[in-house]
Amino acid sequence: MPAADTVSRFDVAVVGAGPAGLAAAALLAEEGFATALIAPPSRPDDVRTTALLGGSVPFLKSLGVWTAIEAAGAALATMRLVDATDRLIRAPEANFHAREIGLPAFGVNVVNRELTRILDEKVASLPNLVRIEEVVTNAAPLADRVELTLASGRIVAAPLAVAADGKASRLREAAGIDVTTWAHPQSALVLNLSHERPHHDVSTEFHTKTGPYVLVPLPGDRSSVVLIETPEEAERLRALPDADLSRELERRARSLLGRMTVEPGRQVWPLSSLVAKSYGAKRIALVGETAHTFPPIGAQGLNLTLRDVASLGEILAAARRDHADLGAPAVLAKYERARRLDVETRTRGVDVANRALLSDLLPVQAARAVGFFLADRLPPLRRLVMREGLTPSLLAPRRMRGLDLPRG
Ligand SMILES: Cc1cc2nc3c(=O)[nH]c(=O)nc-3n(C[C@H](O)[C@H](O)[C@H](O)COP(=O)(O)OP(=O)(O)OC[C@H]3O[C@@H](n4cnc5c(N)ncnc54)[C@H](O)[C@@H]3O)c2cc1C
């Protein structure tokens, strides 16, 4: 057992400083918990962007970071879905406008680097949060605390650790939580580009036989690209000279935004899915990609993560009011109940949407086309699809209620 004076004690220790860990640490410190945030510095090379939608907006407002995010991002007022599969049965084009559900915009698309910078600044401003830029090398759940050993040998102890350490989570392993994983025959090419014509705050999703090709607005005449392809084709595209790749992306976008010019920085992300069999055990609660990972279809990943964070914050605040042990099995079981349905519904939903796109079976194509058609033509269904696509109404944590969304 380490000497008591070599151990730093906190109410909660958050491990991982991706968007999940940063948001969790900021929220828990704001709630008044003495919080440690343990992770190496954030990745400066992430070219991805995140579409923050629905309940994420009031949540980020409640943390006091929304104004900065809104200023750094671009509003998403319309989602356009185009069936570019060239199959026998194709779906009609569908356009979903935020104004149909009384909102100026569905949310904002922001470059991950900016999002991380804003959350980093928030974290640095919180007096009861200590940031420790180190890797956790061992996590030991004990009877009344978790002890985290850091690379320097320092030990951090807390009654609860929040695992936000990503897909290959060391903390999840220490909690003995198994995962179900499955691979997809696809990779995502991610980059940003400028274009000749304005996007008018419209995000366009071309559905192709290998996956969606999505253009999401960025400030000015710029958009972020997520192009899901076979791994070989994604790598071939990544290796193209700038001018050739720009032309190819313009061709695939049917010149909708005119001439395109790719910006420096391209990444290829192999796609996989993961769902944890439990969201908490042995004084460790999972949030973000530690608990669930799926392909970037429908911009769900981080929005789902922020619901984990908001929900955990609410449950821990209630536990403290009841003078309960923050890492007690009953507290973790409550978190599990709060998150299970939402996580499973989103993970399966994205998986089904992806498989329906890849399938050559005529009945599957027909079902997809009918689904698009109905969602496009039936106003009540359209509104339901839009609202529930943003945040599931029955499951929204308190900080996510009241869709007071950004300027259009
Ligand atoms: C191509 C692509 C596009 C996407 N687009 C969207 C979108 O538009 N909208 C959306 O909502 N989501 C989107 N997502 C999903 C979203 O990007 C992810 O959910 C999110 O980035 C994951 O955040 P995270 O904090 O859970 O994990 P990560 O970002 O993986 O963070 C893990 C953190 O843990 C740290 N860490 C790991 N091990 C240790 C250790 N032992 N000790 C200490 N620290 C450790 C790492 O350094 C890192 O800081 C997209 C994903 C992809 C792949």
Q: Where are the domains of the chain?
A: 4-74+112-181+276-400
Q: What is the DSSP letter of 395?
A: G
Average pLDDT, the chain: 88
Phi then psi dihedrals of residue 163, to 5 deg? -90, 105
Nearest to residue 295, comparing CAs of 366, 229, 361?
A: 229
CA atoms 338, 340, 346, 347: torsion sign: positive
Per-residue model confidence as pLDDT tens digits over 260-304: 999 999 999 999 899 999 999 999 999 999 999 988 876 678 999
Of 37, 48, 137, best ligand 1 pocket probe by most atoms within 8 Å of the beta carbon? 48
Q: Classify residue 340 by burial, with Cβ atoms within 10 Å: 0-12, 13-18, 19+.
A: middle
CB 270 within 8 A of CB 187: yes
Longest dimension (CA), the chain: 71
Helix, strand and coil percent figures for the chain, each rounded to 5? 40, 30, 30
User: With a 6 A CB cut-off, is 21 part of the ligand 1 pocket?
Assistant: yes
Q: What integer pLDDT is reported at residue 347 of this predicted model?
A: 83
Query: What's the 59 CA to ligand 1 centre distance in angstroms?
Result: 18
Contact 216, 91 (CB under 8 A): no
**Residue 129, beta-bridge partner list:** 35
Angle (CA) 31 334 321, round 5°: 40
Query: Tokens for 376?
Result: 């496009």
Smallest Cα–Cα separation from 106: which of 383, 372, 390? 390
The angle formed by the CA atoms of residues 346, 348 and 350, to the nearest 5 degrees, is 65
pLDDT of residue 355: 66
Exposure string over 199-212, b if 16+ CB within 10 A, otherwise e: bebbbbbbbbebbb
Residue 183: count of CB within 10 angstroms of its CB: 9
Phi, psi torsion values for 107, nearest 5 degrees: 170, -155
Cross-strand pairs, 82? 206
Tens digit of each residue's pLDDT (9 = 90 or more) over 100-127 = 888 889 899 999 999 999 999 999 999 9
pLDDT at 396: 72
Burial of 301 (0-12, 13-18, 19+ CB in 10 A): buried
- Ranges in the chain, pLDDT < 70: 1-5, 86-92, 298-299, 352, 354-395, 402-408
What's the confidence (pLDDT) of residue 197? 97
Helix axes 301-321, 329-358, angle to 10 degrees: 170
pLDDT score, position 363: 57
User: How far lies 81's CA from each of 26, 58, 76, 97, in Å?
Assistant: 35, 26, 14, 12
pLDDT for the residue numbered 188 = 95
Q: Which pLDDT value is given to residue 98?
A: 87
Q: In this structure, which amino acid lies at residue 236? A: R
Is 257 a pocket residue for ligand 1 (Cβ < 6 Å)?
A: no
Question: Which atom of ligand 1 lies at the shortest distance from residue 287's CA?
Answer: 26
Ligand 1 centroid, distance to 289 Cα (angstroms): 6
- pTM (two decimals): 0.90
Q: Which CATH class for the 4-74+112-181+276-400 domain?
A: alpha beta
pLDDT of residue 408: 39
Q: Would you say the CB of residue 305 lies under 6 angstroms from ligand 1?
A: yes
